[in-house]
């Protein structure tokens, strides 16, 4: 799925670009894939454990009216053979890694699920081998729930629990699964109207599976459960979240079974994180 046929997007050289940002990108020489891959305007945002072939960065671009636009850039250079095979196996042999997130941004926009918005995309794929791809996105309003939780010792408002449950339930109702649904990937804008308060980011790993949907449901909800601090959501609030997500007034047998599966998966995520953190700490020692 491409957005070149969308009235808000156009083809610019080897990029697909949002019309509203054409002037801004022209002003900062960001009108080709090569320029996106080599720009010195990008401020690195890489995290420990991120492979060398991919990078993330932030751009602060000023338009002709003096207004600053915050954009985020993801770039992929010569993915290793395993990643190339995985991409091809997913049924996208002629699309680069960045295209997957571009496609999901488009699909969520079509379903009116609030998420990060695409600004520009480009790729270089020859004979099914990806050598480069990049995606430029707009900043999502507000802050991540992870940041909010780190600066607030009181529980999240009850209506927030309901609104996040509704957002995730809507995602799952369409058969979509995030696969990286930690609270750092949900943004909250406290000044926005309730219907526009929360947005999803980092859609790179999203899937629409035909089978084993319960597995992916449990994975998403366990990631949320694991990443939400105990002071942010009480046990009662977490049960309320599950009931709201399932659209049931009280827990029934299937809901209780789901909660047990979420708890078990949460424990596995915790053990995986402990091993990963120990490995990264070991690698960082001189």
pLDDT truncated to tens, each residue of the chain (286 aa)?
Answer: 445 567 889 999 999 999 999 999 999 999 999 999 999 999 999 777 788 999 999 999 999 999 999 999 999 999 999 999 988 988 789 999 999 999 999 999 999 999 999 999 999 999 999 999 999 999 999 999 999 999 999 999 999 999 999 999 999 999 999 999 999 999 999 999 988 999 999 999 999 999 899 999 999 999 999 999 999 999 999 999 999 999 999 999 999 999 999 999 999 999 999 888 888 777 766 6
Can you state the angle between helices 81-89 and 97-110, rounded to 10 degrees?
Answer: 40
| Cα-only R_g, the chain | 20
User: Do 116 and 196 belong together in one domain?
Assistant: no
Phi/psi at 193 (nearest 5 deg)? -65, 150
Strand-pairing partners, residue 56, are 74
User: Do 85 and 53 belong together in one domain?
Assistant: yes
Token readout for 1 is 């799925």
For residue 187, the SS3 value is strand
Helix, strand, coil shares of the chain, percent, nearest 5, are: 45, 20, 35
Are 71 and 137 a contacting pair, CB within 8 Å? yes
User: Do 105 and 222 belong together in one domain?
Assistant: no
Domain boundary among 111, 138, 165: 138
Phi/psi at 164 (nearest 5 deg)? -70, -40
**Most distant CA atoms of the chain, gap in Å:** 60
Residue 234 CA to residue 27 CA, distance in Å, equals 49
For residue 24, the SS3 value is helix
User: What pLDDT, on the 0 to 100 scale, is given for residue 282?
Assistant: 76
Q: Is 185 exposed, middle or buried (0-12, 13-18, 19+ CB in 10 A)?
A: buried
Residue 38 has a CB neighbour count (10 Å cut-off) of 10
Residue 122 CA to residue 133 CA, distance in Å, equals 6
Domain boundary among 81, 115, 138: 138
User: Do 249 and 133 belong together in one domain?
Assistant: no
Residue 150 CA to residue 162 CA, distance in Å, equals 20
User: Do 208 and 277 belong together in one domain?
Assistant: yes
Phi/psi at 15 (nearest 5 deg)? -120, 155
Residue 254 CA to residue 237 CA, distance in Å, equals 19
User: What pLDDT, on the 0 to 100 scale, is given for residue 3?
Assistant: 52
Strands (E), 2-138: 9-12, 15-18, 43-44, 54-62, 68-77, 118-126, 129-138
User: Do 163 and 89 belong together in one domain?
Assistant: no
Can you state the angle between helices 235-246 and 213-227, rounded to 10 degrees?
Answer: 150
User: What pLDDT, on the 0 to 100 scale, is given for residue 49?
Assistant: 72
User: Do 147 and 278 belong together in one domain?
Assistant: yes
User: What pLDDT, on the 0 to 100 scale, is given for residue 5?
Assistant: 63
User: Do 118 and 191 belong together in one domain?
Assistant: no
Q: Say what the pTM is.
A: 0.91
User: What pLDDT, on the 0 to 100 scale, is given for residue 2?
Assistant: 47
User: Do 62 and 191 belong together in one domain?
Assistant: no
Are 18 and 119 a contacting pair, CB within 8 Å? yes
CATH number of the domain to which 266 belongs:
1.10.510
User: What pLDDT, on the 0 to 100 scale, is given for residue 1?
Assistant: 41
Domain that holds residue 113: 9-138
39 Cα distance to chain centroid: 23
Residue 2 lies in a domain: no
First vs last Cα of the chain: how many Å apart?
A: 46
Residue 3 lies in a domain: no
User: What pLDDT, on the 0 to 100 scale, is given for residue 195?
Assistant: 86
Q: Which residue has the tokens 């596995």?
A: 268
């Amino acid at each position: 799925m491409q957005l070149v046929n969308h009235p808000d997007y156009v083809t610019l050289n080897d990029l697909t670009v949002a019309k509203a940002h054409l002037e801004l990108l022209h002003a900062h020489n960001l009108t080709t894939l090569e320029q996106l891959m080599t720009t010195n305007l990008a401020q690195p945002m890489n995290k420990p454990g991120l492979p060398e072939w991919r990078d993330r960065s932030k751009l602060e671009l000023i338009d002709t009216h003096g207004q600053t636009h915050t954009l985020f850039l993801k770039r992929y250079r010569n993915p290793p053979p395993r990643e190339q095979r995985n991409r091809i196996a997913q049924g996208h042999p002629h699309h680069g890694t960045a295209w997957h997130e571009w496609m999901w941004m488009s699909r969520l926009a079509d379903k009116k699920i609030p998420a990060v918005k695409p600004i520009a995309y480009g790729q270089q794929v020859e004979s099914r081998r990806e050598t480069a791809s990049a995606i430029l996105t707009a900043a999502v309003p507000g802050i991540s729930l992870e940041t909010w939780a780190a600066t607030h010792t009181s529980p999240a408002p009850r209506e927030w629990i309901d609104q996040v449950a509704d957002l995730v339930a809507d995602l799952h109702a369409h058969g979509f699964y995030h696969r990286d649904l930690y609270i750092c990937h949900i943004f909250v804008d406290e000044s926005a109207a309730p219907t526009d308060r929360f947005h999803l980011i980092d859609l790179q790993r999203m899937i629409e599976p035909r089978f084993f949907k319960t597995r992916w449901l449990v994975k998403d909800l366990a990631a949320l459960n694991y990443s939400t601090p105990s002071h942010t959501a009480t046990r009662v609030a977490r049960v309320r979240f599950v009931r709201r997500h399932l659209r049931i007034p009280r827990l029934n047998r299937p809901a209780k079974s789901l909660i047990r599966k979420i708890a078990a998966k949460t424990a596995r995520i915790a053990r995986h994180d402990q091993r990963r953190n120990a490995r990264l700490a070991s690698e960082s020692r001189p």
